Structure 1
Amino acid sequence: MSLPPGTAPVKAEYILTNVGRTVPDDDAAEGSTSHLNSRTDNQEPTEDGQNGSRGARKKWSKEERKNKRGANKGRRFQKVRDELELCWRVAVGKTCEFGAECRNTHSVEEYLAAKPKDLRFPPVSALGNEPPYVALSANEDEAMAAASYPSIDWSANCPVFEKTGECKHGMRCRFLGGHVRKTDEGNLELVVNEDKKAQMIVAETELNFVSGETLKQIRSKKFPHPIADTYLKHLQETKDDDNKKAEDRAPAKDLTSAASAPSTDEPEPSVISGSPAEQGEPKIQDNLSQVDTPDAPLRPAEKKRLHWNGKTYLAPLTTAGNLPFRRICVDYGADITCGEMGLANSFLQGSKEEYSLIRRHPSEKTFGVQIAGSKPQLLVPAAEILGKVCEGNLDFVDINCGCPIDLVYKTGSGSALLDAAGKLGKIIVGMNKALGDVPVTVKLRTGVKDGKNNAHKLMPRVNSEWGAAAMTLHGRTRQQRYTKLADWDYIKLCVDAVRAREAEEDLSPVPIFGGGDCYSSQDYWEKVEHSGVDGVMIGRGALIKPWIFTEIKERREWDISSRERLEEIRKFAEYGLNHFGSDTAGVNTTRRYLCEALSFQYRYVPIGLLEVLPGRLNDRPPVFRGRDELETLLASGDSRDWVKISEMFLGPTPEAWSFTPKHKSNAYDTESQG
């Protein structure tokens, strides 16, 4: 069968039609800044060229292709809660201090009478590659359950309880039958496995939890950040001095206009060289050992060195890079993980949602937080706060200088910093001081506009002048987004420029990672050898096939089976319940993020179906069938199928729940999704 250029080389016996599947527009999906005018139409053609009612195949018209391209801009996700909510204090056996004024019920009996029936989480042994894919054994205690507590399934098993020995949601858990028993008096009593709880508390307790009281302090501007305050004060004094000297040098006739004109260029940081005495700087009176003066030269011994050579690095990924997904990647061999990008301004405002992005699981051996902002006044104090609230549980803080989306770029953040070297220098130096011995790393793109790459000029300064401990370079400009292949020749040029500067100034080499289009073990090691990077940061490749880290570690291409992929999905659901919760809200939040993960994983073309290896990230697959029914189902681009897969592990979707995929090409009428 003749296939168009750029089509994945699927073996002929698996091809259903040589019409290529719709290629999701990652640029438009990531670039969405509006939440208006959302509309999906189940009469649009599906991935296999059919219409939404699964009628006869037809070719895509130009207008239809245009309609399917881009993002669903009106995505809204609300929490689905129980119709009658039980007070969480009562749910775990405590006394509610609000008493009758509490907005939730205190009657366990009333709550259980209205609560949906327990869910059953399937063991690995229940999984298969033929329908029904998940086969649960019959419930022998059904009659007994119905007689006393209809909502409780006494044969249910709670994945949170099984992992930690205790379920923090108590009576509100949707798997309640797994950790409750009836007393001799006929009452219900929560079960706690003290031995397992003591054994697993270190291995399963998430780190970097920020209390409500701390968030309140941050919101009210009462959380101290003295190092940042002193540093920013000195920057202002330096700027005032520079302005005064400029005025003194200006001719008398120009003084008025010079004073009234806005400053367009920020001075290069004077914080890089010179002793404190030479600069006339006040000494910071603080008990933190990392700083003597706000602008003292960095002492190498004060910073932890990052030894990342040979390690695998999962990129910080917005929305999809949540903690359960990172745990999956760690299981497959990811050595370095980074939380989703957080906004400095939101950290300074004490946003609960923003601080949830810094949560870390103990299995993440090397963990960092990525932060975006437009100026030192935001980034430096935010960094100092992060360093304090994550004390001992933060291995690095990454500055985002690569985010291309308008929402970030137009504020002067993300890739806009590539054209503001002076500002970037102040940010890196200030954050280095504010974070103590926690290293600062920088993620960049090659430049802002096509044909105007400037990373080769910027990166040597990032290390030698401003003291960044590591750098990552994505091989595209902001303007290119994902529309062209990453330029690994230019990445090599940048690596050579940094290494030459390090050799010239006798500096210790810092880790440099590249990024862009890495999708296989062969890809990875060829790019490392060609460009001289210490490793490749994996982004979309990990979203589509999280097992890429195993491939890299073992230097092989893994023809993973459909059942092994289903085990990974089950594990994601388990990790999601542990992180988001096993109550009604947690179950459906887990369901949402599981569907987000499947919205990328369906794009994987099993390598056992390919004529030529390895598979390539940007190849457009034809419509194909898998080697078994499960493999075919996992390749479905229909978001309704992702919801059905989630139901195998999380039970039926409630009426109030719906899922709108990020990519328009996967969107269908939400009423059909359950």
Structure 2
Amino acid sequence: MTSMSLPPGTAPIKRQFLLSSDALPAVDDDAAEGSTTHTGTSRVDVADTDTRGTGGRKKWTKAQKKEKRGANKGRKFDKVHDQLELCWRVANGKICEHGDECRFTHDIDAYLAAKPRDIRFPSIASISDVPPFIIGMDEDNSTANDNLSSPEHHTSCPSFAESGFCRLGLKCRFLGAHAKRDASGAIMLVEDEEKRAHTALSTTELNFVSADTLKLLRSKKYPKPITDAYLKELEAAKEDSNVTEEDVALGEDNLAIQDDTLPISSELIAKRTGNSDPSAQTDTPDVLIRVQEKRRLNWSGKSYLAPLTTVGNLPFRRLCMTLGADITCGEMGLATSFLSASASEFSLVRRHPSESIFGAQVAGNKPSTLVPTAEVLGREFGDAGGIDFVDVNCGCPIDLVFKSGSGSALLDAPAKLGKIVTGMSRALGEIPVTIKLRTGVKDGRNNAHKVMLRAATEWGVGCITLHGRTRQQRYTKLADWEYIKYCVDAVRAREADKGLSPIPIFGGGDCFSSHDYWTNVSSTGVDGIMIGRGALIKPWIFTEVKERREWDISSRERLQLIGKFTEFGLSHFGTDTTGVNTTRRFLCEALSFQYRYVPIGLLERLPAKINDRAPTFKGRDELGMCFIIETLLASPNSQDWVKISEMFLGPAPESWSFTPKHKSNAHGEESQG
């Protein structure tokens, strides 16, 4: 029996699984994308820097604050702490130098008496297809003291299991896995020295910024010689009456873009890529890297996880790596925030060793902020294992990002963009600069091909990614892959004319299956596809792409991936009360996208489409009671996402709440855990 009665744009679910033919409300991915940062504040708040270029925030008027309320424009997530907070030094068996003046308690027995009982973190083998799905997920009201005297209450600490020690010590909510009482009743913390030594390099996160670096940035004493020289060069060129503003900008609008036959001299190319006579730099301590000497990005055939606001954090990227992703990029960071020494902004460049190719993405609106940011990133993280590339965001469509001259606004300012990319390329040395674009700003006025030609042949970028929609379209229309092909063909022809080695070009937009991926690769000539929303809804898309198949993933397998994400989150955010509930928050963020996945075994035809809205449906009953969990995983109710988190992280505290990025998914004003 078919489902021809379903309205257009509705997922074609087989009739036996339908509970209602009414499709769920459409979600606003654009609003969600701009609503919240990794820190829990509104991204539009932090993007709206002042017009004087000082990096400060505008002060909102009372009317502006009122206008911004509602619709998730400023979600806040307060940290959850222990009822009685133990000094972290004492928690790790060390002596606190503050003694009695320490603001945290040193009374271990009192702390353990108040601390809740350990959480039982489930192993993959304990996940089943029948209720309660997670074996041993029951809880009682006993305390942490009971964990050390009741061997039957065994738990596993993800950090200890991975690296052989737990940095949270007694504060860990999985304490029983690495602590015990000796004959005298004293608590002993356990370490696995062999595992700790064996896994030191494979588990330790990379790209930590030092306190000294932050201090220098705050005091504006951080040395930036390349930036200083470059900005002086631009300023001097402006004052030279014999050089036009457009020429200084390293890319006038009339430069061989409209006329493909206009030759570009080697001197002009050298000038516009920042390549001067190398002999003149022989005795200079900081010799500039020529574009030809930069690291080549051999990315053909590789899959690329897009930089994703909020959800694209280190645990999620790590999960995608286990599922087959090749290239990852941190969440978009603001140049002004890096320069003002924001610790939360620097956390965006944190890298896990499993991320084999990793880059940082930055956004800004002028060379005076983006070039020094590039120099700081290159100096701090330029060694092997730091960052492999720095991406300039030229595609963010959010209103206040756009209105500040950042993101997709740079598409209409190619002269400025040329200054930015060329300066960043100089400042980064061997590290390549990449750019991510949209097709244009307004519908019917695509200009990405012009920007791409200049970027590939003059500015020396290492890779170009083109999202197949304009800024005006946001996600309301299908990606224009025909225009992406046009741009690829134009760039390849220009590279051949100039005798330049081709750079990787990635496309993006609406990729939701292996079929989508390989069809668009073969029809457009792109080197690969950057996957964003497709990975948010089904992270296993990278496995599908690698194996060139559609994966009818089971509910048990999906729960296992949720468990793995939870494990990675605890390793990253910490296993104490604060870390557990931070992990819970980001798990719910991930589930706010994953619930939109419709199991392909329920569909009448393939491939599934990313923009199809699902009617309410029930899961399959092929393995006893597994339909319950498959149905639960498809719930749009954020309270159900909290229930799923409790399978792995124990009951949510009464003080903890979760408000989704997509407001329509919140039942009531606020979802309470």
TM-score by length of 1: 0.87
1:101 aligns with 2:101: yes
Q: Is the 8 A contact 2:323 2:540 kept in 1?
A: yes
Percent identical pairs in the alignment equals 62
Q: What residue in structure 2 maps to residue 388 of structure 1?
A: 379
Q: Is the 8 A contact 2:270 2:276 kept in 1?
A: no
Question: Partners of 2:364 and 2:200 in 1: how far apart?
Answer: 35
Choose the corresponding residue for 1:21, options 20, 24, 29. Answer: 24
Counterpart of 2:110 in 1: which secondary structure? helix
Question: Partners of 1:144 and 1:475 in 2: how far apart?
Answer: 55
Q: What residue in structure 1 maps to residue 336 of structure 2?
A: 345
Q: Deviations over 1:25-65 (max 9, x none)?
A: 112222448989xxxxxxxxxxxxxxxxxxxxxxxxxxxxx
What does 1:304-323 align with in structure 2 at a 5 Å threshold? 304-323=295-314
Question: Partners of 1:122 and 1:588 in 2: how far apart?
Answer: 17
1:417 aligns with 2:414: no
Question: Partners of 1:288 and 1:160 in 2: how far apart?
Answer: 42
Cα 1:152/1:100, change in 2 over 3 Å: farther
Question: Partners of 1:671 and 1:476 in 2: how far apart?
Answer: 33
Choose the corresponding residue for 2:270, options 273, 280, 291. Answer: 273
Q: Deviations over 1:408-454 (max 9, x none)?
A: 11111110110111111111111111111011101000001111110
Q: What residue in structure 2 maps to residue 12 of structure 1?
A: 15
Counterpart of 2:436 in 1: which secondary structure? strand
Q: What residue in structure 1 maps to residue 156 of structure 2?
A: 157
Counterpart of 1:361 in 2: which secondary structure? coil
Q: What residue in structure 2 maps to residue 551 of structure 1?
A: 544
Cα 1:458/1:444, change in 2 over 3 Å: same
Q: Which range moved further: 213-222 or 310-319?
A: 213-222
Q: Is the 8 A contact 1:124 1:567 kept in 2?
A: yes
Question: Partners of 1:266 and 1:79 in 2: how far apart?
Answer: 51
Counterpart of 1:397 in 2: which secondary structure? strand
Question: Partners of 2:602 and 2:407 in 1: how far apart?
Answer: 39
Q: Is the 8 A contact 1:513 1:533 kept in 2?
A: yes
Q: Partner letter of residue 195 of structure 1?
A: E
Q: Is the 8 A contact 1:288 1:436 kept in 2?
A: no
Choose the corresponding residue for 1:601, options 583, 594, 619. Answer: 594
Q: What residue in structure 2 maps to residue 42 of structure 1?
A: none
Q: Is the 8 A contact 2:36 2:661 kept in 1?
A: no
Question: Partners of 1:489 and 1:148 in 2: how far apart?
Answer: 61
Provide structure 2 residue ranges, at least 5 long, that are not aligned to the other structure. Answer: 43-69, 252-267, 621-626
What does 1:237-248 align with in structure 2 at a 5 Å threshold? 237-242=236-241
Question: Partners of 2:138 and 2:478 in 1: how far apart?
Answer: 52
Q: Partner letter of residue 298 of structure 2?
A: H
Q: Partner letter of residue 160 of structure 2?
A: F
Counterpart of 2:130 in 1: which secondary structure? coil
Q: What residue in structure 2 maps to residue 642 of structure 1?
A: 641
Choose the corresponding residue for 2:352, options 341, 361, 365. Answer: 361
TM-score by length of 2: 0.87
Q: Which range moved further: 393-402 or 273-282?
A: 273-282
Question: Partners of 1:560 and 1:343 in 2: how far apart?
Answer: 37
Aligned-residue Cα RMSD (Å) equals 2.6
Q: Is the 8 A contact 1:226 1:286 kept in 2?
A: no
Cα 1:232/1:280, change in 2 over 3 Å: farther
Q: What residue in structure 1 maps to residue 89 of structure 2?
A: 89
Question: Partners of 1:110 and 1:450 in 2: how far apart?
Answer: 64
Q: Deviations over 1:253-285 (max 9, x none)?
A: xxxxxxxxxx9x794328853499999999698
Cα 1:426/1:120, change in 2 over 3 Å: same
Counterpart of 1:357 in 2: which secondary structure? helix
Cα 1:145/1:617, change in 2 over 3 Å: closer
- In the TM superposition, residue 157 of structure 1 has moved relative to its aligned partner by 1.6
Q: What residue in structure 2 maps to residue 333 of structure 1?
A: 324
- In the TM superposition, residue 616 of structure 1 has moved relative to its aligned partner by 0.6
Q: Deviations over 1:498-555 (max 9, x none)?
A: 0011011000000000000010000101101111100110000000000000101111
What does 1:62-211 align with in structure 2 at a 5 Å threshold? 71-136=71-136, 155-211=154-210
Cα 1:326/1:418, change in 2 over 3 Å: same
Question: Partners of 1:666 and 1:277 in 2: how far apart?
Answer: 53
Q: Is the 8 A contact 2:453 2:494 kept in 1?
A: yes
1:442 aligns with 2:435: yes
Q: Is the 8 A contact 2:358 2:387 kept in 1?
A: yes
- In the TM superposition, residue 367 of structure 1 has moved relative to its aligned partner by 0.5
Question: Partners of 2:110 and 2:145 in 1: how far apart?
Answer: 15
Question: Partners of 2:547 and 2:243 in 1: how far apart?
Answer: 61
Q: Is the 8 A contact 2:659 2:671 kept in 1?
A: no
Q: What residue in structure 1 maps to residue 623 of structure 2?
A: none
Q: Partner letter of residue 517 of structure 1?
A: D
Counterpart of 2:411 in 1: which secondary structure? helix
Q: Is the 8 A contact 2:117 2:146 kept in 1?
A: no
Choose the corresponding residue for 1:509, options 495, 502, 509. Answer: 502
Choose the corresponding residue for 2:531, options 533, 538, 541. Answer: 538
Q: Is the 8 A contact 2:358 2:389 kept in 1?
A: yes
Q: Is the 8 A contact 1:341 1:372 kept in 2?
A: yes
Q: Is the 8 A contact 1:518 1:524 kept in 2?
A: yes
Q: Deviations over 1:145-191 (max 9, x none)?
A: 76696899852221110111000000111111110011222110110
Q: What residue in structure 2 maps to residue 57 of structure 1?
A: none
Cα 1:152/1:405, change in 2 over 3 Å: farther
Q: What residue in structure 2 maps to residue 53 of structure 1?
A: none
Choose the corresponding residue for 1:430, options 418, 423, 427. Answer: 423
- In the TM superposition, residue 89 of structure 1 has moved relative to its aligned partner by 1.3
Q: What residue in structure 2 maps to residue 495 of structure 1?
A: 488
Cα 1:137/1:615, change in 2 over 3 Å: closer
Q: Is the 8 A contact 2:147 2:153 kept in 1?
A: no
Counterpart of 2:118 in 1: which secondary structure? coil
Q: Partner letter of residue 548 of structure 1?
A: I
Question: Partners of 1:157 and 1:633 in 2: how far apart?
Answer: 26
Question: Partners of 1:13 and 1:430 in 2: how far apart?
Answer: 60
- In the TM superposition, residue 380 of structure 1 has moved relative to its aligned partner by 0.7
Question: Partners of 1:342 and 1:578 in 2: how far apart?
Answer: 23
Counterpart of 1:133 in 2: which secondary structure? coil
Q: Partner letter of residue 213 of structure 1?
A: D
Question: Partners of 1:221 and 1:342 in 2: how far apart?
Answer: 19
Q: Is the 8 A contact 1:658 1:670 kept in 2?
A: no
Q: Is the 8 A contact 1:234 1:281 kept in 2?
A: no
Q: Partner letter of residue 616 of structure 1?
A: K
Question: Partners of 2:500 and 2:187 in 1: how far apart?
Answer: 66
Q: Is the 8 A contact 1:323 1:579 kept in 2?
A: yes
- How many residues are treated as equivalent by the alignment? 615
Q: Partner letter of residue 273 of structure 1?
A: A
Counterpart of 1:465 in 2: which secondary structure? helix
Q: Partner letter of residue 403 of structure 1?
A: C
